[in-house]
Amino acid sequence: MKRIFCVAAGLFAAALLVGSGSAMAAGKPDCGLNTGKAATGQPIPVGAVTSMSGIGSFKEADEAAKAYFDCVNANGGIHGRPITYHDEDDQSKLDVAAQAAKKLVGDEGVYIMVGSTSFIECIANADYYIKQNILEVGLGIPSQCYKSKNIAEINAGPLQSGIGGADYARRKLHAKKLVCWIFKVPGADYICGGIENWGKHFGVNVVSIYSDPSSVDVQSLVLQYAATGADSLMVFGTDDIGAQILNAAQGQDLAAKMNFTVPTSYYTVRLPGAIDSKYWNNRLWVNSELAPMDSKAKDNMNWHAVMDAYGPKVLKDSFSQAGYIAARIVVRPC
């Protein structure tokens, strides 16, 4: 393992998106050995188990990781060996996530997961990875992602992201009562429950609303928000369901009564076009866990360069950034 991958010791430091290298300074992708020659040796199997369907999709993380690996393969690979990337959709189901991990490890020979982003994957597989000595560098959502010795997540996660947004509402928007909304999925109470504990500490009354992901009526949901009498709201989920909620809230002019804060999953290039940006200006606050997309930091610029060259159709968002970071962390000339 050590001969093939050099895993950086300061994993969370990568979230600062600070890099180096002459190729990046020149605006060209900086990947692997930068030889300009395709790797031709024995392939190295790398995997991922990600929610791409079901409750939501985080496929951009896998797509960005693959784009970076493609760039590495086109530039010498890992000591001449190319990376083969096998990603599986867990469909937001625990049993499917467990089956996917066993397929990757048992059938494909994968011994490291890179870019995995899921509502439930860590719940299903954390113990299995320890037993099989499998490492994972990805993006965590449930608490199990942050408790396993075999899993290193490069993101803060929805609890911390949510607290960041809620605390902004408290400090800057003078929130006194806040709604935490999330789909009722395994681990959801860890997220909204954690924000409830934060609220108790800082004197903010937090009301949690859990919705069945199989039957969501956004109009009724918005009425639920309004009925709480809260002055602020933390809306979890992905940007697609978020856009539906925001549009329904605009229809009720709810932003005139409540401040809307959302986690980093809403930080995408497509959200502004899916909502009325003029209406939501200074009414919607997004917590971004990584660098702003227009940051001129060298590694952020390299992310753009890699995506433009090897993943032009990959949605540019925080998950794409993080998938790139996860892949870059594990690829180091040793």
Compute the half-sphere exposure of residue 186: CA atoms within 13 Å on the CB side of its CA: 16
Three-state SS for 77? coil
Q: For residue 4, is pLDDT > 50?
A: no
Q: For residue 55, is pLDDT > 90?
A: no
Q: How much of the chain, in percent, has pLDDT values that exceed 90? A: 79
Same-domain status, 93 and 153:
yes
- How confident is the model over 309-327, as pLDDT tens digits? 999 999 999 999 999 999 9
Same-domain status, 115 and 25:
yes
pLDDT at 332: 72
CA dihedral for 247, 252, 255, 259, sign (positive or negative): negative
CATH number at residue 239: 3.40.50.2300
Cβ–Cβ contacts within 10 Å for residue 107, how many? 10
pLDDT at 176: 97
Q: Is residue 72 part of a domain?
A: yes
Same-domain status, 130 and 28:
yes
- Confidence band of 67 (pLDDT split at 50, 70, 90): very high
Residue 135 domain boundaries: 11-157+291-330
Same-domain status, 43 and 148:
yes
* Cα–Cα distance for residue pair 311/324, rounded to 1 Å: 11
Q: For residue 15, is pLDDT > 50?
A: no
Same-domain status, 151 and 170:
no
CA dihedral for 185, 190, 193, 199, sign (positive or negative): negative
Tokens linked to 214: 């199989």
Average pLDDT over the chain, rounded to an integer? 89
pLDDT (average), residues 254-258: 96
Rg (CA), the chain: 20
pLDDT at 203: 97
- How confident is the model over 145-202, as pLDDT tens digits? 999 999 999 998 899 999 999 999 999 999 999 999 999 988 899 999 999 999 999 9
pLDDT at 129: 97
Q: Is residue 4 part of a domain?
A: no
